[in-house]
């Protein structure tokens, strides 16, 4: 007898979760960590399921539930399922699925494939993950929820199985909601002729006609499957993580002009909007009460050098070779000591989404050189600390800049304690993203009483108001945007320490983008749940 979906329960499929140590790469993880507790206050229980990546279940001491076979890639894969109570919402479960194919080197979540085979490893990983989730739900190994909530392209395969495959038809009774955290990442792979292709993962599905597969084929590359497009077209509702981004994605991208919109999927998103099923709801931010023993800004600044050294050592522990960025950072830490004057900060992934404007040409060098030159001319003791990991080419370029400028510290990696300190003790936070679906970094910096200098796009436009809690710039093309970034930095430095600046600091720390406001809209609009 088929089970009935449990009322006011949601199952989230996600690739990341910051509630688990080692489970975070980007902002999606913060959402998956914080949203369940906010939904619980609205009377909704949100469970989470994600891959184990070879270490999460062991390190969290999760309870083993069962082992079950999954039909995938013309064979049967044995998947182990674990669970643990959500540490931030004990009435909800976090389920972890384990298999050798989910493991990436160095406790990683994602795999950086060769340039000619983007997403090859990860697409296969998440295709298997989605098949395992669908199998567990249809086989009664997981209770059916009232709603299924998918996050980003990694879950697009789940919508394909639900829509096309008869063995998963039970899932059609459960409405599916898709949240897009980053439209630029789509997981595109070939339909045929590769070990990482639709044909390899789902041989029966690949035999359908192009007309039958029209909703999942990439509009630009007709020989490829697009998991994110599948999720957009085959879900019941689509959610963008800020109102500003929800507007921008309806327009075609113009990369050469510095505008990143629908990334080839604008037509599909327009169709969803016409059906009244496209939503722009801003992500929230946690605002914990201030504790009496919380370190002051000066105390945090004194800790920065030791935290930076910890971050460098942590990365070296998982590296076979020493990257030049680590050596340069060690030298700069020795030369600079702790920042004693103005501190410009930035925390973000080393991707073109976050760093393209810093890499634009400037007087024979790049804009990042221009920022450091302006900073030094204004105050020789001022410093810029940037923490980020990601693209190796960007890391090399920023390492070269660090070798040229003694007022720049670039820490190539991710370290939660260092990032928290930079949010809390910097004087100005720089976030010049070329597109920003929502952004959490600017919210965390504002929470730490740090005005932000941002590109006025997406979620940054929804959270940072020029002259009130920070500074914003724009431009009609990449060169204009780069010039305005430098001009806006000059404007900020000229204002630093003045009465208007102090008011801006007070406004920054008093900003509230709370999860409760967003969670109410999730329940009523996205989930369509009624009391």
CATH number of the domain residue 389 falls in: 3.40.50.2000
E strands, 181-283, are 189-190, 224-225, 237-240, 278-280
E strands, 424-466, are 428-431, 452-455
Find the domain containing 240 and state its range. 10-284+516-526
Do 301 and 267 fall into the same domain?
no
Do 256 and 339 fall into the same domain?
no
Do 520 and 487 fall into the same domain?
no
DSSP label at 119?
T
467 phi, psi to nearest 5 deg: 85, -10
Element of type H or E holding 376: helix 367-378
Do 265 and 383 fall into the same domain?
no
If phi > 0 it is left, if psi is from -120 to 50 it is alpha, else beta; for residue 75 that is beta
Do 439 and 520 fall into the same domain?
no
Given this model, what pLDDT does residue 317 score?
Answer: 66
- Residue holding tokens 């039909």? 71
Do 205 and 354 fall into the same domain?
no
Do 402 and 430 fall into the same domain?
yes
DSSP bridge partners of 521? none
Do 178 and 231 fall into the same domain?
yes
Q: Is residue 5 part of a domain?
A: no
State the Cα–Cα distance between residues 343 and 496, nearest whole angstrom: 11
Neighbouring C-beta atoms of residue 68, cutoff 10 Å: 17
Q: Is residue 292 part of a domain?
A: no
Q: Is residue 410 part of a domain?
A: yes
Q: Is residue 459 part of a domain?
A: yes
Q: Is residue 442 part of a domain?
A: yes
Given this model, what pLDDT does residue 1 score?
Answer: 43
Which has the closest alpha carbon to 424: 447, 458, 456, 440? 447
Do 362 and 245 fall into the same domain?
no
Do 279 and 328 fall into the same domain?
no
**Number of independent structural domains in the chain:** 2
Q: Is residue 180 part of a domain?
A: yes
Q: Is residue 225 part of a domain?
A: yes
DSSP string of 154-195, one letter each residue:
GGHHHHHHHHH-GGGGGGGGS-EEEEES-TT----EESSSSS
Q: Is residue 460 part of a domain?
A: yes
Do 346 and 329 fall into the same domain?
yes
Both structure tokens of 376: 């030094």
pLDDT by residue for the chain (531 residues), tens only, comes to 457 788 899 999 999 999 999 998 888 999 999 999 999 999 999 999 999 999 999 999 999 999 999 999 989 999 999 999 999 998 999 999 999 999 987 788 999 888 889 999 999 999 999 999 999 999 999 999 999 999 999 999 999 999 999 999 999 999 999 999 999 999 999 999 999 999 999 999 989 999 999 999 999 999 999 999 999 999 999 999 999 999 999 999 999 999 999 999 999 999 999 999 999 999 999 898 877 777 888 888 888 988 888 888 877 666 666 677 888 888 888 888 888 899 999 999 899 999 999 999 999 999 999 999 999 999 999 999 999 988 889 999 999 999 999 999 999 988 889 999 999 999 999 999 999 999 999 999 999 999 999 999 999 999 999 999 999 999 999 999 999 999 999 999 999 999 999 999 999 999 999 999 999 999 999 999 976
DSSP label at 209?
-
Do 353 and 213 fall into the same domain?
no
């Amino acid at each position: 007898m088929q089970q009935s979906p449990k009322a006011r329960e949601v199952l989230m499929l996600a690739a990341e979760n910051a509630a688990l140590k080692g489970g975070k790469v980007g902002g999606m993880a913060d959402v998956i960590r914080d949203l369940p507790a906010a939904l619980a206050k609205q009377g909704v229980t949100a469970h989470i399921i994600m891959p184990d990546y070879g270490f999460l279940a062991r390190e969290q001491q999760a309870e083993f539930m069962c082992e079950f076979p999954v039909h995938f890639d013309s064979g049967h894969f044995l998947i182990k399922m674990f669970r643990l109570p959500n540490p931030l919402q004990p009435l909800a479960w976090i389920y972890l699925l384990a298999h050798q194919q989910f493991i990436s080197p160095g406790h990683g979540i994602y795999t950086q494939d060769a340039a000619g085979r983007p997403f090859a490893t990860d697409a296969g990983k998440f295709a298997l993950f989605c098949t395992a989730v669908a199998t567990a739900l249809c086989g009664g190994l997981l209770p059916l929820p009232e709603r299924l909530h998918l996050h980003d392209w990694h879950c697009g395969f789940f919508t394909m199985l639900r829509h096309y495959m008869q063995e998963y038809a039970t899932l059609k009774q459960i409405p599916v909601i898709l949240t897009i955290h980053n439209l630029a990442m789509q997981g595109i792979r070939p339909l045929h002729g590769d070990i990482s292709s639709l044909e390899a993962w789902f041989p029966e599905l690949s035999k359908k006609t192009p007309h039958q597969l029209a909703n999942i084929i990439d509009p630009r590359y007709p020989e490829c499957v697009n998991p994110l497009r599948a999720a957009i077209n085959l879900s019941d509702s689509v959610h963008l993580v800020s109102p500003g981004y929800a507007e921008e994605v309806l327009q075609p991208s113009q990369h050469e002009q510095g505008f990143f919109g629908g990334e080839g999927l604008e037509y599909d998103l327009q169709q969803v909007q016409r059906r009244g099923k496209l939503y722009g709801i801003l992500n929230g931010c946690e605002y914990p009460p201030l504790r009496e023993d919380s370190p002051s800004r000066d105390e945090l600044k004194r800790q920065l050098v030791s935290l930076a050294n910890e971050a460098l050592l942590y990365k070296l522990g998982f590296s076979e070779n020493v990257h030049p960025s680590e050596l340069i950072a060690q030298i700069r830490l020795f030369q600079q000591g702790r920042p004693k004057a103005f501190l410009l900060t930035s925390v973000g992934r080393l991707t073109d989404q976050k760093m393209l404007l810093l890499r634009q040409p400037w007087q024979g060098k790049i804009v990042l050189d221009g920022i450091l030159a302006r900073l030094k001319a204004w105050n020789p003791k001022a410093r810029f600390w940037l923490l980020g990991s990601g693209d190796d080419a960007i890391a090399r370029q920023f390492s070269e800049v660090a070798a040229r400028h003694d007022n720049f510290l670039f820490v190539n990696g991710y370290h939660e304690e260092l990032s928290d300190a930079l949010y809390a003790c910097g004087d100005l936070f720089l976030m010049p993203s070329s597109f920003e679906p929502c952004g959490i970094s600017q919210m965390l910096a504002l929470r730490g009483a740090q005005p932000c200098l941002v590109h006025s796009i997406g979620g940054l436009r929804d959270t940072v108001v020029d002259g009130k809690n920070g500074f914003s710039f724009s431009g009609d093309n990449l060169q204009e945007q780069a010039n305005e970034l430098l001009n806006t930095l000059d404007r900020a430095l000229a204002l630093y320490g003045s009465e208007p600046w102090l008011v801006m600091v007070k406004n920054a720390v008093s900003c509230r983008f709370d999860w409760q406001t967003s969670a109410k809209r999730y329940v009523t609009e996205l989930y369509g749940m009624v009391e």
